[in-house]
Structure 1
Amino acid sequence: MKKIKLVLIVILMAASGLSGAQTKLKNPFGLVYGNAITENITGKVNIYPVTYKLNGINIAANVYTPAGYNAAQKYPAVVVAHPNGGIKEQTAGLYAQGLAGLGYITIVADAAYQGASGGEPRHTDKPFYRTEDIRGMADFISQYAGVDAGRLGVLGICGGGGYTLKAAQSDKRFKAVATLSMFNSGEVRRNGFQNAQMSTIQERLKKASDARAQEAAGGKITYAGVASITDEEIEKIPTDLYREGYQYYYRSHAHPNSTFLYTMSSMLDLMTWDAAERMDLINQPLLMMAGSKADTKYMTDEAFPKATNAKSKELFIIDGATHIQSYWKPEYVNVALAKLNTFFNKNL
């Protein structure tokens, strides 16, 4: 018991007291999570905005370096993939900063066609691109000064978790694979959240097909998703994921680059894709984390048993956490970071 308490104290210190929400864009790096870095100080965890090309598109990313970082030394590194609708300045940045506080060089990038990254049409959300984003981060960080490319891990959060599973199936540069609150974007776009739209699959595929035809003919781009929402509308949402999600993205951790919109034509790709397919190709150590109260936990539960060839695997439950609460609540973030540190320290 004393050992567990000591680990949590170390995590709390290393994560620089991660807590609360930074709701206004006063942060010079645009970060909107609590206790985010506001300036680079020698000897501390620092952040470096970078850009690079991926398939001809400009990608905007942040690299976090550990306290006392020395480019002449070698460090393990972790790629962090952000949630659907999310960007690098929100929860993915929070976890990247926390892991940097524990000694890892980390990178988090805005997905192509989203956030501050380039690509047209905006808000295109296709699994191939999102998987390439993760590989692109690996390309960049493997060449970064001080990174030991042989000790590269990956963490995917929410939708980024589903895309991380897919990236790790083929990209063996990732020596350890972790997900948090994994969201299977293909399954949900196809079947609806909690399989509530099974009866309308063909109808929605027709809408996506029509949207593609309209784009090809030079017409306007049709978008799915929610652009804005009132407090009253948020309160009436029955599921924790969307009620707390809209509160997080549009209120407490809002950022102008973050949006729930995606092109309707993206559904053609999303609805025929599934994060849990070919899980048998993952032969790296695998850690999948989910909150005990997360209404998305069923997606982790579905995917985890299919990783039959993982070198080792663990399903870790964060007691009391909902999906969105694992993004920012200190009591859950610190538990997740402690587990990630144990996992990556063992396998990297």
Structure 2
Amino acid sequence: MKFKLKALTATLFLGSSLLGANAMAQLPQNATAIEVPAQSIQLTQEWDKIFPKSDKVEHRKVTFKNRYGITLVGDLYVPKGATGKLPAIAVSGPFGAVKEQSSGLYAQHLAERGFVTVAFDGSFTGESSGLPRNTASPEINTDDFVSAVDFLGSLDNVDREKIGVLGICGWGGFALNSAISDPRIKAVATSTMYDMTQVMADGYEIKMEPNPKVPYERTSPMTTEARYKMKQDLANARWEAAANGYSLNGKAEDHLTPQDKITAETPRFVREYSNFYKTKRGFHPRSVNSTTGWNTAMTPSFINMPILQRAGELKAPALVVHGEFAHSRYFGEDAYKALGSKNKELYIVPGANHTDLYDDVNGKIPYDKFEQFFKANLK
């Protein structure tokens, strides 16, 4: 099956077409070859980001594959007029967002400051391929970052000895995990990070303080008994998911509270998320958080396969950026303490909550800090 993507043409085949004539001839007589339909990818060519296009960078849409054969789609940003081989940064996140939102904003700003950057959609989301849709995997999403490094290192204008990664929100954990596993990554930064495996296994370890001027108080993680009950519920729900090809997604209103359902009892961090993803400020039709819910069969893999288990072995320089009043601050503080890097820094943005570091609305994103970090360590 062939399909055109305007400027791009791709052919994706699974099943018997991969075997070839010789291999088919060698199959036992009682073997059965099954052809699985290919997945087409529709790429949007017009500028549809939540932020304006910069006249200081050159932009083009790119594709590359991860080691699972999933085609990832990204936006490549290059400083206008740049020559020679440049340092490069792969950017992704937040969890449930797309490259047209925060990651693209970060990538464009860093490109203005002299880096080749790629903001990409993770497997199964946005414009990237992968079935079923709207799912995630701690292993595959870590490899997405590593594969973005493969891609950047293949470019003529990139110095492959000067490649870093930057992960936002839930992709901050994947960025750290990729740097722990791949020494080619020379510097790693996170912004308002989550460890998605930790939150899915332990729940939110915070007291729901309603006052936005008061830092969240850390509480105890989920008990073993409560986690077992959650796993029972998830396992029972899998019967329906399996009967539907694992394609079921949760309801959008259950995933993230819409604006018209916000009440005085709504936790403040949920209000912050809704104010970004469910309003003109950050809405995007391809974003899981803006539209649909996550795949219903996704969570158990995050509970049982924690990332950052070898954080103490990280040697690359690391910058962990978080907001003073972010509900997620403890994820960054825990990760920072665990990282083995001799060159590491925890930078707290005064007065910022979690989503203040998603966009430029409140002017809280410390671009200067990220620029200084990457220029000091990608040299």
TM-score tier after normalising by the smaller chain length: 0.7 to 0.9
Letter in 2 for 1:242: V
**CA-to-aligned-CA distance 1:221-252 (integer Å, 9 cap, x gap):** 44346356432323446433321112211212
Q: Which residue pairs with 1:322 in the alignment?
A: 353
1:295 is paired with a residue whose SS is coil
TM-score by length of 2: 0.77
Matched, 1:279 2:311: yes
Matched, 1:110 2:110: no
Post-superposition offset of 1:205: 1.2
Structure-to-structure mapping, 1:189-338, within 5 angstroms: 189-194=200-205, 198=223, 200-218=226-244, 221-224=247-250, 226-227=252-253, 229-236=257-264, 238-251=266-279, 252-260=281-289, 261-307=293-339, 309-329=340-360, 332-334=363-365, 336-338=366-368
Matched, 1:49 2:61: yes
Aligned residues: 313
Q: Which residue pairs with 1:36 in the alignment?
A: 53
More helix by share: 1
Letter in 2 for 1:292: E
**CA-to-aligned-CA distance 1:317-337 (integer Å, 9 cap, x gap):** 111110101111355445x21
- 2: distance between equivalents of 1:234 and 1:47? 38
Is the 8 Å Cα contact of residues 36 and 94 (structure 1) preserved in structure 2?
no
Matched, 1:342 2:372: yes
Q: Which residue pairs with 1:11 in the alignment?
A: none
- 1: distance between equivalents of 2:222 and 2:294? 18
Q: In the alignment, which of 129, 149, 155 is matched to residue 166 of structure 2?
A: 155
Which sections of structure 1, spanning at least 5 residues, go unmatched? 1-25
Relative contact order, higher structure (CA 8 A, sep 6+): 1
Q: Which residue pairs with 1:19 in the alignment?
A: none
Q: Which residue pairs with 1:6 in the alignment?
A: none
Structure-to-structure mapping, 1:60-209, within 5 angstroms: 60-70=73-83, 73-194=84-205, 198=223, 200-209=226-235
Letter in 2 for 1:234: I
- 2: distance between equivalents of 1:49 and 1:237? 42
The Cα RMSD (Å) is 2.2
**CA-to-aligned-CA distance 1:127-152 (integer Å, 9 cap, x gap):** 11111111111111111220001000
TM-score by length of 1: 0.84
- 2: distance between equivalents of 1:90 and 1:118? 18
Which sections of structure 2, spanning at least 5 residues, go unmatched? 1-43, 206-219
Letter in 2 for 1:48: R
- 2: distance between equivalents of 1:181 and 1:115? 21
Percentage identity across paired residues of the two chains: 31
Is the 8 Å Cα contact of residues 138 and 307 (structure 2) preserved in structure 1?
no
